[in-house]
Amino acid sequence: MNSDTHGVTGQTETPEGAQRLALKSLSPQDFARLGVQQIAYIRPVVVDGNRAIAIHAADGTPIGAAPNAELAVAAIIQHELAPVLVH
């Protein structure tokens, strides 16, 4: 049996176990960048008194806006990202 860095056997034998171990070894900075190239989130905002939907990269960087959630999600998908709603 394989053992992980903590000496517990069997935890890295599956792909899920190996992924868990890899995530545990990420630095805080690497964890913050996780998903930046794959995920965008949307959240409602008010701009100049008008409701809109802000689009942000996974790290919080603003990348766009749309007049409604449907258009925001369509824009995210068009750019080959996975949309996530933050509430």
Considering the chain, what percentage of its residues have pLDDT values greater than 70? 77
Beta bridge partners of residue 47, listed in sequence order:
50
| Backbone φ/ψ region at 86: left (φ over 0), alpha (ψ -120 to 50), beta | beta
pTM metric for this prediction: 0.61
Comparing 10-14, 18-22, 23-27, 47-51, the range with the smallest average pLDDT is 10-14
Let me know: does 53 contact 72? Beta carbons within 8 Å: yes
One-letter amino acid at 76 equals: I
Let me know: does 24 contact 16? Beta carbons within 8 Å: no
Considering the chain, what percentage of its residues have pLDDT values greater than 90? 43
One-letter amino acid at 10 equals: G
Domains of the chain, by residue range, sit at 15-85
